[in-house]
Structure 1
């Protein structure tokens, strides 16, 4: 990173190396790990390379040291050739079947639930290990066949024994994979996985290893209209913002600079649109712009590296698909609503990072695009309440979930509440009001409407008057 400092100031270069580079390296390594975790190629290729090296190593050991294999199980060369050939043919055929099963499971999950839940199937380590085992067994057997001397008295015992062990492991892995792939198609496991990933990120708020370190102390945002002409840094590529290091962004500008992020994690950036605005323009704008660009990771899809809102998006998508006329599965929608409640409760109780902070050198970072609690409430329920309106069996648990979240915001406050908590309660009340208005607009049967109105009235009452979700 210091190589981009062109002003000849070794102290400045050392500062950037200390303050910016570690955070950028952390972002890049996390992005690389995330891509490798979703790759169906990386782990199998590593296992394949390991199996090829193992085959060559065992062949050398057999040739040098296993000259009298009377104490181990041995095969004649002809039997070993036949056995290894059968294993190689069977494993490569099975690999094709496994790939077919994987493609079918991805199609079912995409059509039944949402394309955004496919990442959980890609990241399934058991499936990656199974593919790697099958490819490794095939490659090992092919290399072993090339090293067998049909004129010898016996086949290489360690090589043949390892081939049999790999075959046994492959069979076990196939059984485990079939069990997992059948269980992972259950909607409960899919939404549980998404909820756990989201809750893991929420547990780090306001700062944590993945969310990001503290960039400064909260301050009142300055009036940028009085700061003069700014420097605008634009995005150089299209894509979704996967990660942002606030500490790297604020460390990339000179002291006493005001920096405003014009995007957030989970937003889509279009090339040429503003990404960062800073007042006043730095003496070396190209360097600062480059360092800021390094602190924002952009990819082709949203990920769960820092994006809490993406977890809510995945859960909502599953519920919306369940409420569609093509699927018509209100029970799944209810299950997702309950999971959304379990995610939103700790989220509404957690402290969000401040949207205006100042560091010890007078740099001010503004992040007005970051989501607050009211926006999380809107993202969780806006679409759900609209499509759930015609279904009394879905609306009732939706209202009770909102009531539970309202209660958790009220809990622990006997005096004056914080402004953020007041706004969050108002947002939940607004969602309850809009849900009831949407139900009335559907022309629901009077008995069903009366039941929903009773639940809505109790949602803003005292907790003792409510029934469980």
Structure 2
């Protein structure tokens, strides 16, 4: 099968790259404290001009609705404008304090939930919009007229009432957001939404081809190694775009995974044999991998486990010493991990219709997820029997789920998952022994681990 031209390769890759970039932009805008307020501010300016023209064109037609003397309207609008900009400063202060508390008490990685709070963004937008609308309305009030512009002043009052209501809602919400249970619920929900897409879905990625045995050696002849162009975390990647960037009959090996950290200049993708147009292929491959300054939940299931684990580790630290929160983390992990170990993961070697093979040796499997979920927690939970017990029960529950008769004979993947769970069970018991638990406590721990 002959090599495709650069234009043909680009045509195949472009739709997948556009989807990646659209999702990345949407995620960035969702975490922006500027985007929605800026839109609302622009809308308030447009409305101010529009209502001003309506008041001038239909002078007196709306005077039966609400009427203010020009001097009263000027005073009222000035007070509202001053109050709104002052309140905006207070709201920003509350947000900063919330971020500091959440970062110090739980984990810096949970802050993205506060940035993405749509109600907070709308409140800031309302405050800025009300301020801008009132300032522009002041310029339209003529003290020589018998009455102030009815529509303009009336809409300013509506914005003020809406802002006051939004402040009350925001204060209620920000106080509830600080509760660790709600933070964990949000993280667990985001993670389970990604798990529900496995093995293929709108965010996880489309099916590339049929599973095959990985070639050994990958392919004859020299290959093309494409290096990372920047440092950062792999936030998203499109496997279909990576495969489409290579000529038919190629073997493409992904040297990284979603959630991994890339160092500029290190191998990111290797293609055998070397394409006829390596420059175009390298550019298209780099476009198919989105690298950013932080991990996100766009495709990264492991990042959800990392956030929950971080909250538990912080709770078990001597500075915080909150075993109850650590227990709640373990229970949330149980909900997430049961879905994850029973879900099908994409194959690590697939062949597409154009005889291109994609190898993803570094993609996480169920055994990797088990280790990432429990490895650190079980080490720091060892001195706390009240935490070790639910941790062991969670592992036993997952082991039972993997070996359920209705699933049929153990597959190699489920066998590896069971082995990983057995290893974590054994290490947890060993850690409890080293921690010097009382004989009665240790007997309970060993009994639970043994099932």
TM-score, normalising length from structure 2? 0.98
* Match of residue 418 from structure 1: 411
Q: 1:94 aligns with which of 87, 90, 102?
A: 87
1:323 aligned to 2:309? no
* Match of residue 104 from structure 1: 97
Instruction: Assess if the C-alpha contact under 8 Å between 2:314 and 2:320 holds in 1.
Output: yes
Q: 1:291 aligns with which of 284, 291, 303?
A: 284
Instruction: Assess if the C-alpha contact under 8 Å between 2:99 and 2:114 holds in 1.
Output: yes
- CA 1:30–1:225: 2 relative to 1, 3 Å: closer
* Match of residue 118 from structure 1: 111
1:142 aligned to 2:139? no
| Cα distance in 2, alignment partners of residues 386 and 66 from structure 1 | 75
| Cα distance in 1, alignment partners of residues 10 and 265 from structure 2 | 28
Q: 1:344 aligns with which of 337, 347, 350?
A: 337
| Cα distance in 2, alignment partners of residues 414 and 114 from structure 1 | 37
1:231 aligned to 2:196? no
1:429 aligned to 2:417? no
Q: 1:311 aligns with which of 295, 304, 317?
A: 304
| Cα distance in 2, alignment partners of residues 298 and 199 from structure 1 | 23
> Unaligned 5+ residue runs, structure 1?
1-8, 459-469
Q: 1:212 aligns with which of 189, 205, 208?
A: 205
Q: 1:256 aligns with which of 249, 253, 272?
A: 249
| Cα distance in 1, alignment partners of residues 165 and 396 from structure 2 | 48
Instruction: Assess if the C-alpha contact under 8 Å between 2:84 and 2:128 holds in 1.
Output: yes
Provide, for residues 306-329 of structure 1, a one-character-per-residue CA deviation record: whole Å limited to 9, x for no partner.
000000000000000000011100
User: Number of residues paired by the alignment?
Assistant: 450
Deviates more, 1:225-234 or 1:438-447: 225-234
1:62 aligned to 2:55? yes
Cα displacement (A) at 1:15: 3.9
Superposed, which structure 2 residues align to 1:357-436 within 5 Å?
A: 357-413=350-406, 416-436=409-429
* Match of residue 21 from structure 2: 28
| Cα distance in 1, alignment partners of residues 22 and 295 from structure 2 | 17
Alignment RMSD, CA only?
Answer: 1.4
Superposed, which structure 2 residues align to 1:137-176 within 5 Å?
A: 137-176=130-169
1:281 aligned to 2:274? yes
Provide, for residues 327-358 of structure 1, a one-character-per-residue CA deviation record: whole Å limited to 9, x for no partner.
10000000010000100011101110010001
* Match of residue 439 from structure 1: 432
| Cα distance in 2, alignment partners of residues 16 and 29 from structure 1 | 20
| Cα distance in 1, alignment partners of residues 3 and 316 from structure 2 | 61
1:198 aligned to 2:191? yes
Cα displacement (A) at 1:412: 3.5
Instruction: Assess if the C-alpha contact under 8 Å between 2:3 and 2:247 holds in 1.
Output: no
* Secondary structure of the structure 1 residue equivalent to 2:290: strand
Provide, for residues 347-372 of structure 1, a one-character-per-residue CA deviation record: whole Å limited to 9, x for no partner.
10111001000111111100001000
TM-score, normalising length from structure 1? 0.94
* Match of residue 265 from structure 1: 258
